[in-house]
Amino acid sequence: MNRIGGYRMKQLPQLKKENGVFNLYVDGKPFVALGGEIHNSSSSNLAYMKEKVWPYLKGLHLNTVILPVYWELIEPVRGEFDFELMDGIIEQAREHNVRLVVLWFGLWKNGRSTYAPGWVKKDYRTFFRARYQNNGISDTISPLCEAAVQADASAFKEWMNHLKKVDGDTHTVIMVQVENEIGFLGSDRDYSDFANATFAAAVPPEAEAAYGISETWTKSFGEDAGEYFMAYHYAKAIERIASAGTEAYPLPMFVNAWLEQFPWRAGTYPSGGPIAKVMKLWKATAPTICLYAPDIYLPNFAEVCAEYTAGNDNPLFIPEARRDIVSATNVFYAIGKFDALCFAPFGIEDFLSPPQDDGGGIDFGLMMALNIDMSAFQLNGTGPYLARSYELLGNMMGIIHKHRGTGKMTGFLQNHDNGCLLSLTEYDLKLSYKRQQEGKPIAGGLVIELSDNEFILAGIGFSAEFLPKRGESAAVGYIRIEEGKFVDNEWIRSRVLNGDEAAYGVGVGSHPAALRIEMYKFE
């Protein structure tokens, strides 16, 4: 902690890479967000938040809520700002003792410009739209429109300036996502006359720096030229917006991605958004952005985690995850294997609320048109499982922090490996998964080596067997196996399972749970 004139200043939230691991510091202490993102429109009304959102978040053991701040509502008239709504939301978050990650819904949200203020929308000559190939008009303000980027950047700066005033000492808001799932939907690039002329010119120095190329987009990127072109222009726009915000108040800023999906053509997912393929260009163009966050609705969770952390160049931060029951398991895997800094299913206020239409706010028509598997959006009883996963993880977070980046913690996941052999320091650990019944979470979890002979296993639906290292002649045995739980990072044991319960390997049933195991070797 810094002291300025005897006054204790809490450190600004910040992301740091230390000894090869990314740490997010909040008030000077490492932090992992066990989060949830609320529906797009929920934070547009304080009374709605009070009645329909906060009461249902209580039981989930969240430490972080992810919610939008809308350009449209804070600058309804050009140059006139109204922050009353956001002040109220921050107040509510403090009452509920959670941190916030705010999403700047400015020029772009899921590719489109629906959250731009009316005065921006109506002045379509100044704030021009991107066009499709046949010259058809889109509802996306072009990222090549300087005036629009400028207007967004100054609104964003105004907001960050205000945020600093009301939250600069408290840090209820810990991070900011700039725009949401940016990119151009419906085409690989903007085909307006202005964009066509820019596209025909040589690539900018950022592309040269990233890829060592200096030809045109088409010569350099072939079929993917449109996508790289858009990636550059979105990244450039984001850099201007994010750096304007940072000048006012330097919270860590990130962008999120709507991932590539079938049929794998830019435009079926927002073209130019920060998918892994174009991340290098994004990094060269938008240095203010501290991380690239995947919204993981696709079933290949493990592969996406691996892709976004490849080269240990980007921390895993998942601001949106599927709503179905796999999320209760995926969170263990993301934290155990990839040192995730955030996990957050989408539409979190539905998870413990009485049954209602699961899809509130989702454009089902669009999803159908895009051929998207709707199971990602169905709850089917996820809430109570997720709550137990978060409760367990939250109570052992100190132990997790201690082991992040040490090589003494990893994860396993049924959807991915279907059983595996993990190599620990003194043992090999064989994991097999229970065939989970319909409606139960898939199997998976994490393992922590507290010492060479002491382990924590936490997760759902697996059994584990400790084996000697390959080729080793010693036999291995249990000193003891304890079931139990953590309270504030303190292990509180319940039964000791040295008999029938562990005769054929130790395990965890269909609900999130933990075991503490001590092993020994003999010969």
- Chain residues binding ligand N0T by CB under 6 A are 40, 110, 180-181, 258, 261, 295, 297-298, 320, 346, 362, 372-373, 376
Among residues 233, 217, 213, 234, the alpha carbon closest in space to that of 225 is found at 217
Nearer to ligand N0T, 105 or 282 (CB): 105
User: What does the alpha-carbon distance between residue 178 and residue 202 come to, in Å, rounded to a whole number?
Assistant: 28
Nearer to ligand N0T, 23 or 180 (CB): 180
The nearer residue to ligand N0T, 228 or 297, going by C-beta atoms, is 297
Least Cβ distance, residue 352 to ligand N0T (angstroms): 19
Angle between the 146-167 and 84-95 helix axes, to the nearest 10 degrees? 40
Smallest distance, Å, CB 110 to ligand N0T? 5
DSSP letter for each residue of 35-58: EEEPPTTGGG-HHHIIIIIHHHHG
Q: How many CB atoms lie within 10 A of CB 505?
A: 13
Angle at 241 between CA 180 and CA 94, to 5 degrees: 65
**Residue nearest ligand N0T by beta-carbon distance:** 297
For ligand N0T, the closer of residues 111 and 117 by Cβ is 111
**Cβ 107 to ligand N0T, closest distance in Å?**
15
Which residue, among 479, 523, 484, 520, has the nearest Cα to 502 in the 3D structure?
A: 479
* CB nearer to ligand N0T: pick between 200 and 366: 366
Q: Quick one: 53 or 508, whose CB is closer to ligand N0T?
A: 53
Rounded to a whole number of angstroms, the minimum distance from the CB of residue 430 to ligand N0T is 32
Nearest to 344 by CA among 382, 308, 397, 381: 382
The CB-of-444 to ligand N0T minimum distance in angstroms stands at 20
* Separation between Cα atoms, residue 483 and residue 485, nearest integer Å: 7
Query: Are the CB atoms for 173 and 159 separated by under 8 Å?
Result: no
Q: Which is nearer to ligand N0T, 130 or 259 (CB)?
A: 259
- Return the number of the residue (298 or 450) whose C-beta is nearest ligand N0T: 298
CB of 326 to ligand N0T, least distance (A): 12
Q: How far is the CB of 40 from ligand N0T (least distance, A)?
A: 5
Nearer to ligand N0T by Cβ, of 110 and 113: the residue is 110
CB of 84 to ligand N0T, least distance (A): 24
Q: Fill in the DSSP letter of residue 31.
A: -
By three-state DSSP, how is residue 307 classified? helix
Q: Min. distance of Cβ 200 from ligand N0T in angstroms?
A: 32
Distance of closest approach, residue 36 Cβ to ligand N0T, in angstroms? 13
Query: Locate tokens 């980007």: which residue?
Result: 314
Q: How far is the CB of 322 from ligand N0T (least distance, A)?
A: 8
Distance CA 310, CA 342 (A): 17
CB of 320 to ligand N0T, least distance (A): 6
CA pair distance 255, 169, nearest whole angstrom: 25
Q: Tell me how far CA of residue 220 lies from CA of 199, 203, 212, 276, 354, in angstroms.
A: 12, 9, 10, 18, 54
CA dist 195 and 226 (Å) reads: 10
Place of tokens 């709605």: 48
Residue 445, judged by CB atoms within 10 A of its CB (0-12, 13-18, 19+), counts as buried
Question: Could you give the 3-state DSSP secondary structure of residue 493?
Answer: strand
CB of 375 to ligand N0T, least distance (A): 8
**Between 217 and 258, whose beta carbon lies closer to ligand N0T?**
258
Closer by beta carbon to ligand N0T, 319 or else 461: 319
DSSP conformation class of 328: H
| Nearest to ligand N0T of 373, 488 (CB atom) | 373
Kind and range of the H or E element at 151?
helix 146-167
What backbone torsions phi and psi does residue 308 show, to the nearest 5 degrees? -80, -10
Expressed in angstroms, the distance from the first to the final Cα of the chain is 52
User: Which is closer to ligand N0T, CB of 259 or CB of 513?
Assistant: 259
Q: Is 264 left (phi over 0), alpha (psi -120 to 50) or beta?
A: left
> How far is the C-alpha of 273 from the C-alpha of 277, rounded, in Å?
10
β strands within 77-147, DSSP E: 99-109, 129-131, 137-141
